[in-house]
């Protein structure tokens, strides 16, 4: 089993990876500089370990020491497990750690978009989604419903940010993803690879999505574009897509002023249809 180290001071430099986890600006800088990310909860940590992410350390509340065997660390006896009083954990992280365990893990190099889409038939492409929770939830939908890969625009939120990982329940470790280096012509590589690019929009003039997808088992490669909640897809990506598609809303819903779904609900429906082939 990994070695446990008891620490009583929140200022101990060995706990630096876990500093102020709710400070997005600080964490974005710190995690990029040190090539790390934070996973929370025994199930998520064990999935990260199983996916091959190297463990830097673990932070465990003193009252949750019994959770250690569930973290999947196995014979990683060189990994320090810092055991702290609950109030010390809260002082370090900036919030009450409900799930008992945190782990700091090293990032792996992201593959190129071409490598991720190489053998994929159904992919989701996220344009500028900046809400980490939405990104994590969409990864969970994509992984659960059989989508082959996710491609991110350059400004899209980090799937390995703590909240993304937490909301996805570790699905960010289960589905291949890559980040575009060029937004302006980002869709051209997908089209050159043979993908039919569909842009999801609430516009009533768009084609119902089930009508735009090939029959189940068809050979067509499809890339589904999802835009940020509120603004939706950019006008350029809407123009660049092969077809704009929508999820039809009931007349009663529109009469009540409900003209669209939030991006996560829309992603769940669209991913189900996408994986099934329409």
Q: Is 126 left (phi over 0), alpha (psi -120 to 50) or beta?
A: beta
User: pLDDT value at position 99?
Assistant: 62
Instruction: Tell me the backbone φ, ψ of residue 72, rounded to 5 degrees.
Output: 75, 20
Strands 195-200 and 221-227, by their bridges, are parallel
**Distance (Å, rounded) from C-alpha 75 to C-alpha 16?**
24
User: pLDDT value at position 205?
Assistant: 92
User: pLDDT value at position 259?
Assistant: 66
Q: Which of 207, 210, 208, 202 shows the shortest CA–CA distance to 258? A: 202
Q: Report how far apart the first and last C-alpha atoms of the chain are (Å, whole number).
A: 48
Question: Kindly report the CA angle at 212 between 209 and 214, in degrees rounded to 5?
Answer: 120
- CB count in 10 Å sphere of residue 99: 16
Q: Determine whether domain 3-106 maps to CATH 3.20.20.70.
A: no
> Which CATH code for domain 113-276?
3.40.1280.10
The answer to whether 3-106 and 113-276 have equal CATH topology is: no
User: pLDDT value at position 253?
Assistant: 63
**Distance (Å, rounded) from C-alpha 215 to C-alpha 102?**
44
Q: Is the dihedral of CA 245, 249, 250, 255 positive or negative?
A: negative
pTM of the model: 0.91
* Under 8 Å between Cβ of 277 and 146: no
User: pLDDT value at position 87?
Assistant: 83
- Structure-token pair, residue 41: 């909860």
* Under 8 Å between Cβ of 36 and 17: yes
Mean pLDDT of the chain: 90
pLDDT lower than 70: segments of the chain: 1, 98-99, 215-219, 252-259, 277-278
Would you list the domain boundaries of the chain?
3-106, 113-276
Q: Which of 64, 138, 158 shows the shortest CA–CA distance to 103? A: 64
User: pLDDT value at position 98?
Assistant: 59
């Amino acid at each position: 089993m990994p070695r446990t180290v008891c620490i009583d001071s929140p200022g101990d430099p060995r706990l630096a990876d876990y500093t102020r986890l709710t400070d997005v600006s600080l964490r974005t800088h710190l995690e990029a500089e040190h090539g790390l990310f934070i996973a929370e909860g025994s199930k998520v940590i064990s999935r990260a370990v199983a996916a091959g992410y190297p463990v830097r350390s673990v932070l465990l509340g003193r009252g949750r020491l019994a959770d250690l065997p569930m973290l999947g660390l196995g014979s990683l006896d060189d990994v320090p497990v810092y055991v702290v009083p609950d109030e010390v954990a809260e002082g370090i992280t900036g919030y009450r750690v409900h799930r008992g365990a945190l782990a700091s893990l090293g990032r792996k190099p992201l593959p190129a978009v071409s490598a991720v889409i190489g053998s994929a038939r159904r992919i989701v492409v996220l344009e500028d989604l900046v809400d980490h929770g939405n990104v994590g939830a969409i990864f969970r939908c994509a992984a659960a419903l059989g989508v082959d890969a996710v491609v991110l625009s350059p400004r899209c939120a980090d799937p390995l940010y703590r909240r993304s990982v937490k909301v996805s329940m570790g699905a960010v470790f289960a589905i291949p993803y890559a980040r575009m280096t060029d937004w302006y012509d980002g869709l051209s590589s997908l089209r050159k690879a043979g993908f039919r690019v569909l842009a999801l929009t609430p516009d009533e003039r768009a084609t119902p999505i089930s009508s735009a997808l090939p029959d189940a088992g068809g050979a067509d490669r499809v890339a589904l574009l999802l835009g940020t909640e509120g603004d939706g897809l950019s006008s350029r990506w809407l123009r660049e897509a092969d077809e704009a598609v929508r999820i039809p809303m009931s007349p009663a819903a529109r009469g009540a002023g409900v003209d669209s779904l939030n991006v996560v609900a829309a992603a769940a429906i669209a991913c189900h249809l996408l994986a099934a082939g329409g």
